[in-house]
């Protein structure tokens, strides 16, 4: 996979620094994500595990992957595989990513700045691109 989020060293440091606030709040982020998804796309929420405790390690792994681009890209491939297995479509990706980013922002509270939001948005855009690239590569290999 040759898609990587386009972040410079300062962006990477900004994301990694935000983990000090975010990682201890993984349960709250997960709960907020599930609530937002339930409101935005109830059918999509039903395709994910009903027990939030099963989603929590995925959120924690997602957050932790910002510190290492290789891990983030590997995770993008895993998410693409898991999403396909759950019946998640390419068109669902913007809803999922908006819900997780909003959950992160709301849980971060006063530490969430416009600059941090822009950096996370670029990172999520890169993850989205990597997931789609991985899925398309798999589809082409299967054909």
Question: Tell me: the pLDDT tens digits for 96-134?
Answer: 999 999 999 999 999 999 999 999 999 988 888 888 887
* Residue 96 included in any domain: yes
How far apart are the two ends of the chain, measured CA to CA in Å? 18
Average the pLDDT over each of 53-62, 84-93, 98-107, 110-119 and give the range with the smallest value.
84-93
* Residue 2 included in any domain: no
In whole angstroms, how large is the CA radius of gyration of the chain?
15
**How far is it, in rounded angstroms, from Cα 26 to Cα 31?**
9
pLDDT of residue 101: 94
**How far is it, in rounded angstroms, from Cα 87 to Cα 110?**
36
Higher pLDDT, 137 or 22: 22
**How far is it, in rounded angstroms, from Cα 43 to Cα 55?**
16
Q: Is 83 within 8 Å of 131 (Cβ atoms)?
A: yes
* Residue 72 included in any domain: yes
Instruction: Tell me the residue range of the domain where 46 lies.
Output: 9-142
* Residue 97 included in any domain: yes
pLDDT of residue 114: 95
- CB within 8 Å of 141: residues ≥ 6 apart: none
* Residue 122 included in any domain: yes
CATH of the domain at 75: 1.10.490.10
Query: How many domains are contained in the chain?
Result: 1
**Among the listed residues 61, 68, 124, the one whose alpha carbon sits nearest the alpha carbon of residue 97:** 124
pLDDT of residue 139: 57
């Amino acid at each position: 996979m040759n898609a990587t989020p386009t972040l410079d060293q300062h962006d990477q440091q900004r994301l990694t620094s935000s983990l000090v606030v975010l990682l201890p709040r993984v349960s709250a982020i997960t709960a907020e994500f599930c609530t937002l998804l339930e409101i935005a796309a109830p059918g999509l929420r039903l395709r994910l595990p009903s027990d939030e405790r099963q989603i929590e390690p995925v959120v924690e792994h997602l957050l932790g992957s910002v510190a290492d681009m290789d891990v983030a890209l590997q995770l993008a491939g895993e998410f693409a595989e898991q999403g396909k297995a759950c019946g998640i479509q390419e068109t669902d990706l913007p809803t999922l990513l908006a819900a997780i980013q909003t959950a992160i922002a709301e849980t971060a509270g006063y530490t969430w700045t416009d600059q941090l939001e822009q950096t996370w948005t670029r990172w999520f855009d890169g993850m989205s691109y990597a997931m789609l690239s991985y899925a398309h590569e798999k589809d082409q290999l299967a054909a």
